């Protein structure tokens, strides 16, 4: 992935109410398109661009902005309009699951803002972009109106290719916008959630199925039970039977980092429950049982300082309390410096905000 950081140093984090927004755009190869999409962030003095992660193989870009709630709402709405104009899903392909040009737009409370306020922001965003662009929008996470829409993977199931039939189902009428397949733009999910850590661990293999095997064992949803004929096992109520995974609050799947390297791609939904060091050490163990090695860790976007500190304590002697030492040990233990240099002042959200 290519990481780009802008030079907007206008935010004064200690004085402002802060909301983080992390829109995911289905374009990771054309830098010119991404430059156009992020221009409203650069233009708004009440919003700061913290991070851009462009994934060429994923053909996806994750943008992290932070600022005052109303300014963030205005800015991401403007970014959405540009993305819908420039990205055509009819010609999109990539390794990462996706269903729309603007695939997902989460709002995260950071400082002085409640979850309820972020839920309101997501609803207002959904109404604005659906009214303006006839964009189908689904609400997820804490904003979800239906239990079946809390989890983003459930909304994305079938991806863009299955959206044409899915959106016509009574069970999948969008929360905002038309129940109509829009070939160029697809559909968008938006919602309010807690801080999510996107973290991947690379393996020394090009075999994606082995990464999938590990992912299935560790993720919360676990492994689907199959009978001797390979058919999915369901109970008398038609519920698919699963073997629970190792960790709570964890989503995971096997992806390809590049054509030579498979990875276990994860979302840690609550790092206080399942930490970065927990998944890293378990993946190392599971990989060794398959005759493989975990060779690198990769963060997509930013990470809270406490999550890194927790890992630092795991990888340090018990008497070490120095913050810089703990961060250094976490970076080494999580293998975050194996793919490229890892600057904690750019990648730890509290330090990135202070720097900017």
CA-to-CA distance for 255 and 251, rounded, in angstroms? 13
Q: In sequence order, what are the residues at sequence separation of 6 or more whose Cβ sits closer than 8 angstroms to the Cβ of residue 245?
A: 216, 217, 218, 219, 220, 221, 222, 223, 252
Q: State residue 272 phi and psi, 5-degree precision.
A: -75, -20
Distance in angstroms (rounded) separating the CA atoms of residues 170 and 148: 13
Instruction: Give the residue carrying structure tokens 């990888």.
Output: 315
Distance CA 152, CA 135 (A): 18
Tell me whether strands 24-25 and 102-111 are parallel, antiparallel or unpaired: antiparallel
CB 283 within 8 A of CB 201: yes
Burial of 152 (0-12, 13-18, 19+ CB in 10 A): buried
In contact, 290 and 210? CB cutoff 8 Å: yes
Residue of 284, 218, 294, 290 whose CA lies nearest to 263: 294
Q: 3-class DSSP state for residue 302?
A: coil
Q: What per-residue confidence (pLDDT) applies to 226?
A: 83
Looking at residue 33, what is its pLDDT?
97
Question: Where does the chain hold its CATH 3.30.70.670 domain(s)?
Answer: 197-355
CA distance 308 to 197: 11
Domain 197-355 of CATH type 3.30.70.670: yes
DSSP string, 48-94: EEEEEEEETTTTEEEEEEEE-HHHHHHHHHHHHHHHHHH--GGG---
Pairwise CA distance, residues 303 & 348, whole Å: 5
The C-alpha atoms of residue 94 and residue 238 are separated, in whole angstroms, by 33
pLDDT value of position 13: 42
Of the candidates 135, 146, 124, the one whose C-alpha atom is nearest the C-alpha of residue 21 is 124
pLDDT at residue 15, as a whole number: 57
Q: What pLDDT is stored for residue 122 in this prediction?
A: 98
User: How far apart are alpha carbons 107 and 66 in whole angstroms?
Assistant: 10
Q: Which CATH superfamily is domain 2-192 in?
A: Formiminotransferase, N-terminal subdomain (3.30.990.10)
In this prediction the pTM is 0.73
> DSSP for 7-25?
------GGGS-EEEE--EE
Round to the nearest angstrom and report the end-to-end CA distance of the chain: 22
Strand 102-111 relative to strand 2-4, pairing: unpaired
**CB 263 within 8 Å of CB 257:** yes
- The 3-state secondary structure of 95-129 reads CCCCCECEEEEEEEEEECCCHHHHHHHHHHHHHHH
Range(s) within the chain of domains with CATH label 3.30.990.10: 2-192
- Structure tokens given for 114: 């409640």
Q: Which residues are catalytic?
A: 96
pLDDT recorded at residue 95: 79
Number of Cβ atoms within 10 Å of the Cβ of 287? 22
CB-neighbour burial class of residue 121 (10 A; exposed 0-12, middle 13-18, buried 19+): buried
Low-confidence ranges of the chain (pLDDT < 70): 1-16, 356
């Amino acid at each position: 992935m290519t990481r780009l950081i802008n030079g907007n140093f206008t935010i004064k984090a200690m004085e402002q109410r802060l909301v983080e927004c992390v829109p995911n755009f289905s374009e990771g190869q054309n830098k010119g398109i991404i430059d156009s999409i992020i221009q409203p962030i650069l233009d708004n003095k009440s919003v700061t661009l913290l991070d851009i992660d462009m994934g060429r193989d994923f053909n996806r870009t994750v943008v992290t902005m932070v600022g005052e709630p109303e300014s963030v709402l205005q800015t991401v709405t403007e970014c959405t309009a540009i993305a819908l104009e420039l990205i055509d899903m009819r010609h999109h392909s990539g390794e990462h699951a996706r269903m729309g040009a603007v695939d997902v737009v989460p709002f995260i409370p950071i400082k002085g803002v409640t979850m309820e306020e972020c839920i309101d922001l997501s609803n207002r965003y959904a109404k604005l972009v659906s009214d303006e662009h006839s964009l189908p929008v689904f609400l997820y996470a804490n904003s979800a109106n239906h239990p079946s829409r809390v989890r983003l993977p459930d909304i994305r199931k079938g991806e863009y290719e299955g959206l044409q039939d899915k959106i016509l189902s009574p069970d999948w009428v969008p929360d905002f916008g038309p129940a109509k397949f829009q070939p160029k733009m697809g559909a968008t999910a938006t919602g309010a959630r807690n801080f999510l850590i996107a973290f991947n661990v690379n393996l020394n293999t090009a075999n994606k199925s082995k990464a999938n095997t590990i992912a299935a064992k560790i993720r919360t949803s676990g492994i689907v039970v199959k009978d001797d004929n390979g058919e999915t096992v369901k109970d008398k109520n038609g519920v698919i039977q699963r073997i629970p995974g190792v960790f709570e609050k964890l989503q995971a799947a096997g992806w390809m980092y590049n054509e030579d390297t498979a990875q276990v791609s994860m979302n840690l939904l609550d790092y206080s429950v399942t930490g970065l060091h927990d998944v890293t050490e378990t993946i190392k163990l599971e990989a060794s049982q398959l005759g493989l090695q975990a060779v690198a860790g990769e963060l997509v976007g930013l990470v809270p300082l406490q999550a890194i500190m927790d890992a630092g304590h795991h990888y340090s002697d018990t008497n070490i309390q120095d913050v810089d030492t703990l961060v250094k040990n976490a970076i080494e233990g999580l293998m975050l410096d194996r793919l490229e240099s890892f600057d904690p002042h750019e990648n730890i959200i509290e330090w990135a905000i202070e720097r900017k």
